[in-house]
Structure 1
Amino acid sequence: MKALEMAWETRGKPVGVMFHSDQGSHYTSRQFRQLLWRYRIRQSMSRRGNCWDNSPMERFFRSLKNEWVPATGYVSFSDAAHAITDYIVGYYSALRPHEYNGGLPPNESEKPILEKNSNAVASFFVDHFRSSLAPLGEKACR
C-alpha cells in the first residue's frame, strides 16, 4: 500500500487512472480496495491463474529476482524492503533501459506525459483562480 501511495503522490495525485494486478489476496483485501476508492483509482485484475494477463508485472519480478535479489536472499525483512525500494526507485525506474520505451528508463519516457498533464493542471488552476477573482475586477489578476 505504501508503494501505491508513493506512486500516486509522486505523479501529482492523478485522476482517472487504473491499477492492474493479479488476484492476489493483498489486492483483493478490503483495506487495499478502500485505498483505491479513496484515490479514485479504478481497479483491474487479470483472470484467475492466467499469468499472460499480467505479463508486464511478471517480467518486472523476473528482472528484480535476476538483477537484484541475492541468491542467498536477505537477512531481514527490513533489508529486503530497503534493497527492493532502492532497485525500483533508484535503478529500475531511473536508470535501467527498457526496450518497450525505446531504450529509455520509465522516468524518462514518462516525462513528456507528466509535463503535459502538469501543464494542463496548472492551466486549469490559473483559469479557475482568474475566474474566481473576476468579480473583484482586473486589478486582482495583475
Structure 2
Amino acid sequence: MGRWLAGRLMKELGLVSCQQPTHRYKRGGHEHVAIPNHLERQFAVTEPNQVWCGDVTYIWTGKRWAYLAVVLDLFARKPVGWAMSFSPDSRLTMKALEMAWGNPW
C-alpha cells in the first residue's frame, strides 16, 4: 500500500496520525577537549560531599521540552541539588549547583 492510498483511507475513516515531533538539539559552542578526568571511573567514595556529579536531561511536558539539571552526591547516590528550565544553558546548571552548595548533607 502506498502512502497516498494510506492517507486517503485514513481520511475516509476519520483517522489522524499522531506523531511526536522529533527533538532537535541546539548546536553547542566550542567543545573543551582538554578537560581533565579527575575521577578516572573510581566511583567508590568513603564520605559524603567528597565527589559530586551532575547530569542534564530533557522532559517532554506536552507542549514543549523542559530541561532538568541534577547534582548527585556519589557517596549517598542521592540528589543534593536540582533545577528546571525551558532552556539548556549555563544558568540551569548554575542554579542546580547553587542549590547543592546551600544544601550539603
Radius of gyration: which is bigger? Answer: 2
- TM-score over 0.5 (shorter chain): no
Relative contact order (alpha carbons < 8 A, sep ≥ 6): 1 or 2 greater? 2
Q: Name the TM-score, length of structure 2 as normaliser.
A: 0.24
More helix by share: 1
Larger relative strand fraction:
2
